[in-house]
Amino acid sequence: MAKSRPSIRDVARESGVSPTTVSLIINQVDERISSATRSRVLKTIDRLQYKPSRLAQGLPSKSSKTLAIILPDLHMAFADAYFGEIISGIYDHAAEQDYRITLEVARRSFVRSKRYLNILDDCSVDGLLFLGATEEHRWLEECSGSDRPLIIVNNRFPQWDLDSILCDYPMAARLVADHLFAQGHRHIGMVCGPSAKVYTADELTNAFIDRLAEHGVAIRDRLVVDGEFNVGPGQRAAAQLLATEPNLTAIFCGNDKMALGAYQAARAMGRHVGTDLSIVGCDDLPAAATADPPMTTVRLNYYDLGVAACARMLRRLGLAKSNGNAQKTADAAKAAGPSDGEAKAPSVAVPAKAPRHVLPPAGRIPVRLVERQSVVSLNV
Amino acid sequence: MAKSRPSIRDVARESGVSPTTVSLIINQVDERISSATRSRVLKTIDRLQYKPSRLAQGLPSKSSKTLAIILPDLHMAFADAYFGEIISGIYDHAAEQDYRITLEVARRSFVRSKRYLNILDDCSVDGLLFLGATEEHRWLEECSGSDRPLIIVNNRFPQWDLDSILCDYPMAARLVADHLFAQGHRHIGMVCGPSAKVYTADELTNAFIDRLAEHGVAIRDRLVVDGEFNVGPGQRAAAQLLATEPNLTAIFCGNDKMALGAYQAARAMGRHVGTDLSIVGCDDLPAAATADPPMTTVRLNYYDLGVAACARMLRRLGLAKSNGNAQKTADAAKAAGPSDGEAKAPSVAVPAKAPRHVLPPAGRIPVRLVERQSVVSLNV
DNA sequence: GAAATCAGGTAAACTGTTTTACTGAAGGAC
DNA sequence: GTCCTTCAGTAAAACAGTTTACCTGATTTC
């Protein structure tokens, strides 16, 4: 008869102290515990292999220390490098702060059962991070304006009041516009993402047009064609562009997939990318580096986006909790500061005390231009 | 001052019953509750928007109703179609049984902190599903022979005593062998997965050789070359095969990626796949259908693998719990059977009563040959 | 008519933590 | 010698459910 997991009372009894004392030690609120007692208790914890129950720990605070990642119901959403990178970033940062990650898929049953509300209400989860949200996700409206812990990752909905975090698309557009202009290009087209549907796609398009205008280069309407963020449509968009405007020297594509499509279109029409036609992508997927010729593109750091999204959520949750005890926390930090040279608790996980993360101020993840060989210089 | 979430006691008070009654109704142990009382309580639950706290529910049973998916620490493990499909299957089946999924990555810190044990011990998680396990994951040895709820998905370690679930690789090999033989091929080579490292890769190779031998076709050692499960090495392996054995008419590749490499090798050597050389893959990735020519391959249903793995875990957990009350469960089912025409509980999630899933008996997920255009018929 | 059964329900104990408010003892000031 | 701090720690009440054992009144059974 294997006895079941030890409880905090077992540890207390074996150490000759009260459960309160053990709890204080575990939670590092140990200004009041003598180091003799502390080390005795820690030894017992180690000996009994005691691990505090997450369920019981969460019960008083009503917190499961878990964040949900919501993915759209695309076939094989997991099998996408874009989501993959963001998830990695979220996971890593969450793990560092002793949070766990659960997965949700925004499919019909998810919406019908209002699971996005229920998992918060039933304490399954402390916060929601929504990846790949579009305005077709009408249920977001229900969360608009409320203070539910929800963050939209890499999109924004002007019509709803929701917290979002985005890559710096305007900067991406400016980098590309400046680069193409500096290389001497004056006849430039663009294959854009789904216009009037994805906020960031429009942001990129508008910033690109505006920046070129600042350089005195005008982009007329018919030089911007929708490529729907995908290879096939991107190819058709680029083909149309090259057919109607044969004197185009460069095309900026709103993402790498469409740029790959543009490569195909160019090849089919006898143009040589990197020689007599310049193409710039946006994303820097692995495929961009292995394309022929290697693609000049903008690196959007999706891993960092995930980290930042998670950090922001954790900060929100931290603030929500410390309504009345902000002062106390400050005091505790001050008090714990000098006497900090103590041994750390061994087998019991102790989270880093304060997040201390430097967040990008306006919530924009920085981008940078990656110059490879798909852009020709027309200078001299 | 917004009052916090309602508790079971609030529901009880407002309905004029005891908390016990509410609990019995929520958990469908309601043979003893009159339908008048039941509907009154359900109405109150609806009105108060009551959702039982998962933390509190799990506390007595020490179950979080959560399964962890462990992924190997490959860069971008999430961004892989293989893992993606399995995860989808696991997620769907878990959701159906009201279980949640959390993600873990088997990186250094995961192993060093023995997180694979801790998340079980601290009740974060009820079971572990390990995807992409290799024998480099030495920590698995620690779980060997124990009755910890761990399932290895799509691999097996003869040296350790661990529960695994696998696709039917021997059958896959037989299907390909039979198909190639039936199409008249007698000079056949193979690009295999990492030999002596991945159990299933060897299983496939051996079954393929054995089956061809049954047809009287011998495959000598130098006709089997290791392609390391990847495009580049697969290409080199196929090139070597074609160079040393020019009269080969068909090559079976242990996965689709290597088959794609073989396509490239064939092209580079002036052979035409589907015309004067036959290539068969294994996986049926999306890329197989869009290859040129479309690839004949074996469909390994990774989604179903995920479903089956999850179902098996849930069954194990169910058995573990029902040590003494198997009889009771049977009685309850019998009793609830006739009186089942009642209205269902509305806002409170009620899991399907019995799994009733037909599991593949020996734990092998069925496979099937997908004939496309990369195999030539040499008959007549 | 007494005993047994049953339907419908409840009180109280239990799960394992955190947290608040208190206590006893030792040391210092007067 | 008494009073006031401070130190080190504790008792008990949350937190929100589940579960076991019991109760009451009505119907059956003999």
**Residues B21-33: tens digit of each pLDDT:** 999 999 987 678 8
Nearest CA to A315 out of A157, A166, A165, A142 is that of A165
Inter-chain residue contact A78 with B76, CB threshold 8 Å: no
pLDDT band for position B80 (cuts 50, 70, 90): confident
**Residue A3 — very low, low, confident or very high, per pLDDT cuts 50/70/90?**
low
Tokens 């040499």 belong to which residue?
B378
Q: In this structure, are residues B207 and B170 in contact, taking their beta carbons and an 8 Å threshold?
A: yes
Chain B from 237 to 276: CB within 8 A of any A CB: none
Residue B334 has pLDDT above 50, yes or no: no
Give the pLDDT confidence score for residue B197 in this predicted structure: 85
CA of B20 to C1' of D21 (A): 13
**What's the Cα-to-Cα distance from B339 to each of B21, B28, B34, B343, rounded to whole Å?**
18, 12, 12, 11
Q: In this structure, what are the phi and psi dihedrals at residue B192, rounded to the nearest 5 degrees?
A: -100, 165
Look at residue B208 in the predicted model and tell me its pLDDT. 98
Q: Which of B290, B101, B78 is nearest to A100 (CA)?
A: B101
**Rounded percentage of chain B residues whose pLDDT exceeds 90:** 76
Q: How many angstroms separate the CA of residue B159 from the nearest CA in chain A? A: 27
Mean pLDDT of B229-244: 95
- CA neighbor of A59 nearest in space, from A93, A94, A8, A114: A8
Separation in Å: D4 C1' and A32 CA: 20
Contact A78 B59 (CB under 8 A): no
Q: Which nucleotides of C are covered by protein (CB under 7 A)?
A: 7-12, 14-21
pTM here is: 0.85
- On average, the pLDDT of chain B sits at 87
User: Is a pLDDT exceeding 50 seen at residue A135?
Assistant: yes
Whether the predicted pLDDT of B185 surpasses 80: yes
Residue B288 one-letter amino acid:
A
Chain A residues near residue B264 by CB distance under 8 angstroms: none
Chain A to chain B Cβ contacts (< 8 Å): 109
Protein residues bordering strand C (Cβ below 7 A): A 4-5, 7-9, 19-20, 23-24, 26-27, 29, 50-53, 55-57, 59-61; B 16-21, 24, 32-34, 36-37, 56, 59-60, 62
- Give tens-digit pLDDT for B216-225: 999 999 999 9
Q: What pLDDT, on a 0 to 100 scale, did the predictor assign at position A110?
A: 93
**Contact call for residues A177 and A208 (beta carbons, < 8 A):** yes
**Min distance B366 CA to chain A CA atoms (Å):** 21
CA distance B177 to B211: 6
> Nearest residue to nucleotide D20 when comparing alpha carbons to its C1'?
B20
Look at residue A8 and tell me whether its pLDDT is greater than 80: yes
Q: Which alpha helices (H) appear in B183-301, and where do they start and end?
A: 199-214, 231-244, 256-268, 286-290
Q: Give backbone dihedrals phi and psi of B4, rounded to 5 degrees, phi first.
A: -75, 180
Selection from A191, A72, A229, A189 nearest residue A136 by Cα: A72
Q: Name residue, tokens 């089997």.
A: B224
Predicted confidence (pLDDT) at residue B347 exceeds the cutoff of 70? no
For residue B206, the distance in angstroms to the closest alpha carbon of chain A comes to: 30
Statement: residue B257 has pLDDT above 60: yes
| Element housing B151 (H / E) | strand B150-153
Give the residue from A174, A189, A187 showing the smallest Cα distance to A258.
A189
* Chain D footprint positions (protein CB, under 7 Å): 7-12, 14-21
> pLDDT digits over A31-90, tens only?
788 889 999 999 999 999 999 999 999 999 999 999 999 999 887 666 677 888 899 999
User: Per-residue pLDDT for A213 more than 50?
Assistant: yes
3-state secondary structure (DSSP) of residue A344: coil
- Segment B91-135, tens digit of pLDDT: 999 999 999 999 999 999 999 999 999 999 999 999 999 999 988
List CB contacts (< 8 A) between B61 and chain A. none
State whether residue A218 sits within 8 Å of chain B by CB: no
The answer, yes or no, to whether residue B371 has pLDDT greater than 90, is yes
Nucleotide nearest to B35 (CA to C1'): C8
A115 CA vs D19 C1’ separation (Å): 28
The token pair at B284 is 């049926």
Q: What is the distance in angstroms measured between the alpha-carbon CA of B95 and the sugar C1' of D21?
A: 35
Q: How far off is chain B from A344, nearest CA to CA, in Å?
A: 14
Residue A362's pLDDT is what?
59
Q: For residue range A185-209, what is the model confidence (pLDDT) as tens digits?
A: 999 999 999 988 889 999 999 999 9
Residue range A349-367: mean pLDDT, rounded? 54
pLDDT at A344 over 50: no
- Choose among B49, B101, B122: nearest Cβ to A54: B122
What is the DSSP-derived secondary structure letter of residue A296? B
Q: Tens digits of per-residue pLDDT, A277-293?
A: 999 999 998 889 989 89
Q: Which residue has better confidence, B32 or B55?
A: B55
Q: Which residues of A touch B88 (CB under 8 A)?
A: 76, 78, 105
CA distance A172 to chain B (A): 24
Using a 7 Å CB cut-off, which residues contact strand D?
A: A 16-21, 24, 32-34, 36-37, 59-60, 62; B 4-5, 7-9, 19-20, 23-24, 26-27, 29, 50-53, 55-57, 59-61
Task: Give, as one character, the DSSP assignment of residue B194.
Answer: S
pLDDT of residue A212: 97
